[in-house]
A and B are shown apart, each in its own frame.
Chain A
Amino acid sequence: MRTRPSWLLRIWSLLIPREFREELLGDLTEAVDRVRAHRGRWAAGVWLASEMVRTPYLRLRRQSRARRTGRGGQRRSWLFSSWLDGIDSVRIAARVLSRRPGFAGVAVGTLALSVGAATVIFGLLEAVLLRPLPYPDAERLHVVYGTNEAWRDGDQEFFRENWDRAGISSEMVESFDALATVEAGGYQAGSVPLQTGEGPAGHIPGGRVGEGFFRTVGTEPLLGRTPSPAEHRSGEHVVVIHETLWARQFGRDPEVLGRTLDLDGAPHTVVGVMPRTFALPEEGSLWWTPFPAEWAEYRDATILNAVARLAPGSETSSVTESINAAMERLASANPAYDVMGARLVSLREEVLGSVSGGLRLLFAAVCVVVLIACVNLANLVVARGARRLPELALRAALGAGRAGLAVTMLLEVALVCLLGAALGVILAAATLAPLVELMMRGLPDFPRAADVSLNTTVLGFSLGVTVLTALLAGLPPTLAATRRAPADILGSADRGSRSRGVRRVQATLLFAESALAMLLLVGAGLLTRSMARVSTLDPGFDSRGVAYVSLRMPEDRFPARADALEALDALERGLSGAPGITSLAEARSLPSLGGSQMVPVRPEGTAGSESALTVMAAVGPGYFETLSIPVLRGRAFEAADDADAPPVAVVSESLARRLFGADDPVGRFITQAEGAVMRGGRTEAGDEESVEVVGVVGDVRQLALVREAEPVLYRPFRQTTSRSALLALSTSGNTRAALEPVRATAAHIEGLVVEDMGVFREQTLELLAPVRLRTVLLGALSSLAAVLAMVGIYGVVSYVVSDRRREIGIRIALGARAEAETHRVVRVAMVPSLGGATVGVIAALGTSRVLESSIYEISRLDPVTYGAAFGLLLSVATLAAWWPARTAARVDPVEVLDHG
């Protein structure tokens, strides 16, 4: 049994006169407890709410004077009494509404759905886009990309140099406060075996960072310290871990500093823990180490980016200029340098750029839904105002002021809005958590999804939307309804002229509603069609039944590449007889999964400037067969194409065309550079190699499923220097089950790290998850819009039918066909809907530009989509109009003429 009244009751008791407070509060507490005990919490809440609504505040106040003085008492202040009158007006409004549950239900439902949707979308927007990045002075943080004039090909931008060694530093460019290099895409470079021992050694994202990285960003560690300059210089095996990893791996042990963590099989000492908010250089990075010492002598191309903190007040453009000028100086002092440029991207753009477009799109869509809800509500209020005109006129005639009448009507709207908003927020609260859960599982890279919550900002927004809706929908019809002189209405029996005005307003609103719904339907239609196209398109390869195992042969365990390949051979031998695995092929990566390299390629004998950056895929024998990529001419790679054999290549169909036109490329030679190479502190164009083309294969979408197939150069895996390998397994039966023996087999091979494994098809589908999420959300919003439009049309037609019952009865009595009457009523709704839909199509033609970057494989002007959306809206409108109109034909003339 509870001993104290709840906070809600205590606040409420302030409305009760002191003379009644003690016993009333006690009675309520006791009664609520009884209801709760018998019928549960919900029933108790409902009971309490109804008790609060039904309390006669004004009479209690009046009676309190009697109780205090024995009879009448002092006068109440005007302000106080009008406030109490207000409370009583709410009670009256609630009663009036409860007598018309249809109106109230539709209005509350409309509001709940739209406010709920707006709350969910704004909740995402607020947490992801509106909150500042969690770093000190985050607006000064930028990511610097290098660009190379010589390789200006498409939008490929490479940073071929280590900034430190190229001489670019914060001292050199005055505009920087601090600058530090990070490994681009570096989080793919290492793996941390999970010590919990469950399942495979997990691939935990992290990154190698240059000196000053943490200082540049400016975030203090939660625990311990960041690597010292000396540790950076010597490439010490120290690691800073993320709070999440600290919790997962060490159970938040405060003694974690000094313990070790295995990275790529080498123990690293934990020196610090970064707070949960730290998400650089990538969302989800969980550890950071200094660059390895051997990188100082690294001869291969290193691709690095830099994080820079601009000096206060400096502009991005002037910074870019000064970097470029510094580069020019370097290049003129040393002709061996390539001239490089820089491109600055604000950290905000870098982190949120990929999702901001989608979120803004959704927000725009939800605004349209809210507008439709406004229109719907306005329609309902108009219809209601028209029905109540005689009553309002009577009250006006009896002396009620226009303001008073307007307040009465507005109170009803406000009450409906508040109820709807409350339901909407409950709906949003119920939807948001599963949605975020879904996003975090399906889109692990989505920034700041974990921060999404229904906080005061979001709830404030919902309240704002509600108030705005109430005013937009309630005010104009209310003013219109109360504008007319009472004699005008009471005196005239001409219902026709009155309802004609109302119908004009309703037609306008229907028009607007149909146009808005059309806009959203087209948007959702385009995304859905694009999604369907992408899911069914032919990427040039077949991922069915293919599994992959991603392997790493760390340099410190396998100093010579030959040793690494031996380990790979051992694994292949171990797996070749395993059940379910029919064949296997080596590769550096698989199409669409990333990790492809870009290399300059030209036909042998042409000038170096003819080189075009081309996607290079390193693949082994059996690769084309495993992925069902057709060999069109010549041959595929064979086991004999190893490091000792002459360099060979297979080209994709489009690369063959680009290099050799219509000529047969088989037997021709191409010149392939290895990319940038560091030599003695200078950048040089990489080693050039003369390579014989031995075959031509079909085009595949190598970089991404949603991009057109690009030219691909295939080189034998064994003729490259890669330290990572991927085994593509062709399986029979259950693909996942075929992966089971891999882990055990790999465990017998010393030093070999299994980074990841999985079913290829699932991975390719997962890549489409962001596209799918956006499509599903926008689809849901436009379905909502269509439903709301349907409700609106239904409401209008019902109103017309009930308003014209008498007229219809007379017509039928005079011999009109019932069917014709139905059609006449349906037409009332269809004409404005048709007009609105047409305008909506035109508007969609103009605004679909915002979708251009989100749709693939179809045009934004795709006629099928527009036609389908138009047809859908019209059929929905027809259905919504026909349903209530049908009753018009059943009007019994006798009954109507007797009583109507």
Chain B
Amino acid sequence: MTSHLTDLEQLLLLATLRQDDEAYGAALQRDVEEVADRRVSLGSIHVTMSRLEQQGFVHSELGEPTGGRGGKARRIYTVTDEGIEALNRAREVLEQMWSGVPQEAR
């Protein structure tokens, strides 16, 4: 299992958690863009989420086809317990790193 998450992976995992049950591609893209001010293509989002799923950090399921998106289904992502654990680990690493930083640089 990979020991660390890239920042895009962290952003997407966090965004997934923030969406409750509605975490699908377009919603994740909008959240990352609005909150983190970062433009990520939908293709990259799905590739990244698929890799995270491979690693066991998220679980995905294809929903029912819906109107308003050309009759296409959504892939709904949910973060697994391993995913939450990995996120927390990443945050701890960052906090530890920050703790050694002199006050004037903060």
Contact = CB atoms under 8 A, between A and B. Distances in A.
Interface of A: 1-5, 9, 16, 20, 22-31, 33-34, 50-51, 54-57, 59-60, 63, 66-67, 70-71
Given A57-B43, A59-B47, A4 B71 contact: yes
Given A1-B67, A27-B74, 20 more contacts: A1-B68, A3-B71, A5-B70, A16-B43, A20-B46, A22-B73, A23-B74, A26-B25, A27-B24, A27-B25, A27-B42, A27-B69, A29-B72, A30-B68, A54-B44, A55-B41, A59-B44, A60-B46, A63-B50, A67-B53
Contacts of A71: 54
A70 B53 CA distance: 10
A23 B46 contact: yes
Contact of B62 (A9, A23, A27, A66): A23
B29 interface: yes
Given A20-B46, A54-B44, A60-B46, A27 B70 contact: no
25 contacts: A1-B67, A3-B70, A5-B70, A22-B62, A23-B75, A24-B25, A24-B43, A24-B46, A26-B26, A26-B70, A26-B72, A27-B42, A27-B46, A28-B42, A29-B72, A30-B69, A31-B26, A33-B68, A54-B43, A56-B43, A60-B46, A60-B47, A63-B46, A63-B47, A70-B54
B70 A29 contact: yes
B91 interface: no
Given A27-B25, A60-B47, A63-B51, A51 B42 contact: yes
A699 B14 CA distance: 93
A726 B69 CA distance: 71
Nearest to B68: A1
A643 B53 CA distance: 109
Q: Which among A4, A24, A50 has the greatest number of chain B C-beta atoms within 10 A?
A: A24
A672 to B, nearest CB: 85
A159 B70 CA distance: 72
Contacts of A54: 41, 43-44
A67 B67 contact: no
Contacts of A5: 70, 72
A4 B42 contact: no
A135 B55 CA distance: 73
Contacts of B44: 54-56, 59
Please give me the 8 A-B residue pairs with the lowest Cβ-Cβ distance, nearest first: A26-B72, A55-B43, A27-B25, A23-B75, A5-B70, A54-B41, A30-B69, A26-B69
Interface of B: 24-26, 29-30, 41-44, 46-47, 50-51, 53-54, 62, 66-75
Nearest to A10: B70
Contacts of A27: 24-26, 29, 42, 46, 69, 74
A92 B24 CA distance: 28
A16 B47 CA distance: 11
B41 A51 contact: yes
B17 to A, nearest CB: 19
Contacts of A9: 70
Nearest to B75: A23
Contact of A29 (B46, B51, B69): B69
Contact of B70 (A4, A51, A57, A66): A4
Contacts of B51: 63, 66
A1 B68 CA distance: 6
B72 A23 contact: yes
Nearest to B67: A3
Contacts of A70: 54
Contacts of B68: 1-3, 30, 33
Contacts of B72: 5, 22-23, 25-26, 29
A9 B43 CA distance: 14
A729 to B, nearest CB: 70
Contacts of A59: 43-44, 47
A25 B62 CA distance: 13
A31 B42 contact: yes
B42 A55 contact: yes
